[in-house]
Amino acid sequence: MTTWPKDTQAARNAFYGDPGKGEIAPQMVPVVPPFAMYYEGRRVKSIMFHRRAAPGLLAALNEIWDYCGRDQKQIDAAGVSKYAGAYNHRMVRGSQTKWSNHAYAAAIDLNAEENGLYAKGNMPQFVIDAFCRQGAMWGGWYSGRKDPMHFEFVDNGGRKPKSPAPIFGRAMPLLSHPETGAPLDELEDEPALAAAPPNVQPHEPTVVGDPVLFDVQRRLKARRYSPGVIDGRWGSGTSGALSGFLNDRGVPLTLPSSVEEFHGIADEVRAELLKAETENWFRPVSEARAAADPKVVSQLAPETVPAKRNFLAALWSAIVAALTAVWQTISGYVSAAWDFFTDHRDVVDDHPGLLSTAWGYVTGVPSEIWLLVGAGGLAFIAYNSWRAIKTSTLAVQTGERQ
């Protein structure tokens, strides 16, 4: 059995590699579970795990499968088929410096809905024993905040399983990874995507450049990395957005300088984007950026300054115009309307031309009506200015605007 590292960042970095330097993704391999597992209703094809911990994970899963008599119904009843994630390039919750064991691809969560953080949980003893037999640590043993869904391949302090290992047939072999590199999609393909070859994107009517790059630009934008104009063309905006994404995700890929070079890493980039989308992960920002005040926003998004002036001017003008119209309507609308209709009853028959007739009606409309129309136009300008301010502020606070 492998001797796992102590649960310190220095020990884990020495054993697994440094997540901050992008040393984990190239060492990840797929572990195919011996039984059906599901993530939010989707069947898990494989679990991407660190190559040094992958055999231990597979051995634990095989023991669980044997204990349940290789009966999927028993697996489901135990909650083990409810996969809650493994690799996740993030820090420990509440820390800005300590990497989570998930960032090393050396931890897995099971049945999170019943065994979440701080919960007493109902993790079966045979599941705990299966991981313990591989020397892994269980989150339910933590002295502080309990995390019963969590198993990690670090030193468990010499703990021993409470039951002997079941005996059922030989273990399923670990499938070899065709090549090292960024992690692949762990979940089964959606039916509509199952037959699609990799690195292919249908050419949309609005795409004038490369369709694959267009797809990546669009997905980077959704993760709050701004590539500029989404047109399938390589440029500084796309280069900066891709560089930021790869850096934040810890993916050790060489940044391309052209569309041709981009195609050399397109599959890895799209695989990492898919993982980010599955994790509902967005561009990380500091607390100061997330709470950026108007002064910071105006520095990073200077267009908000004239937008605010337009908003205030249009808003107050709209209010004044509307109040004036209401006052005039109250004081003289009825008499003005009556005079207008009585004085122009025969204008169509008597007037020499259509243009003159139309102009007569225009000049006859009460002034308060025109004030209301003007107030509506000014209110529209104020609303659009307000939306521009909100959009720019959100882009700054989410990190999309650097």
Provide the pLDDT for residue 193. 36
Mean pLDDT rounded to a whole number for the chain: 77
Mean pLDDT of 334-362: 56
Is pLDDT at 268 greater than 80 in this prediction? yes
Q: What Å distances lie between residue 167 and 35, 68, 133, 161, CA to CA?
A: 17, 11, 14, 15
Say if CB 274 and CB 203 are below 8 A apart.
no
Provide the pLDDT for residue 73. 94
Is pLDDT at 190 greater than 50 in this prediction? no
Alpha helices in 104-185 (DSSP H): 125-132
Among 21, 26, 208, CA closest to 217: 208
pLDDT higher at 388 or 185: 388
Edge-to-edge strand list for the sheet holding 150-152: 107-109, 150-152, 137-138
Domain ranges of the chain: 9-152, 211-284, 297-397
Mean pLDDT of 31-43: 90
Mean pLDDT of 115-130: 86
pLDDT higher at 344 or 373: 373
Provide the pLDDT for residue 376. 75
Dihedral sign for Cα atoms in the order 377, 379, 380, 384: positive
H-run or E-run covering 291: none
Provide the pLDDT for residue 55. 93
Provide the pLDDT for residue 133. 94
Q: Average the pLDDT over each of 167-181, 217-231, 260-274 and give the range with the smallest value.
A: 167-181
Say if CB 199 and CB 266 are below 8 A apart.
yes
pLDDT higher at 329 or 177: 329
Among 70, 143, 144, 140, CA closest to 111: 140
* 91, β-bridge pairs: 99
Q: Average the pLDDT over each of 79-83, 273-277, 383-387 and give the range with the smallest value.
A: 383-387
Amino acid at the residue 95: S
Q: What Å distances lie between residue 333 and 5, 238, 343, CA to CA?
A: 85, 59, 15
pTM of the model: 0.47
pLDDT higher at 31 or 228: 31
Is pLDDT at 11 greater than 70 in this prediction? yes
Say if CB 276 and CB 222 are below 8 A apart.
no
Task: Please give the Cα distance from 313 to 78 (Å, whole number).
Answer: 64
Say if CB 183 and CB 250 are below 8 A apart.
no
pLDDT digits 0-9 by tens, 83-95? 999 998 888 877 7
Provide the pLDDT for residue 322. 72
Among 380, 237, 218, CA closest to 310: 380
pLDDT digits 0-9 by tens, 304-323? 567 666 666 767 677 877 77
DSSP type of residue 107: E
pLDDT higher at 175 or 193: 175
Q: What Å distances lie between residue 23 and 12, 27, 28, 155, 353, CA to CA?
A: 12, 7, 10, 21, 83
The pair of structure tokens assigned to 138 is 């269980």
Task: Please give the Cα distance from 270 to 86 (Å, whole number).
Answer: 19
DSSP 71-102: -HHHHHHHTTTBB--S----BPTT-SSPBPGG
Q: Using a CB cutoff of 8 Å and minimum separation of 24, what contacts does 237-245 make?
A: 238/213, 240/402, 241/217, 242/216, 242/269, 244/283, 244/402, 245/220, 245/272, 245/273, 245/276, 245/283
The dotted CATH code for 9-152 is: 3.30.1380
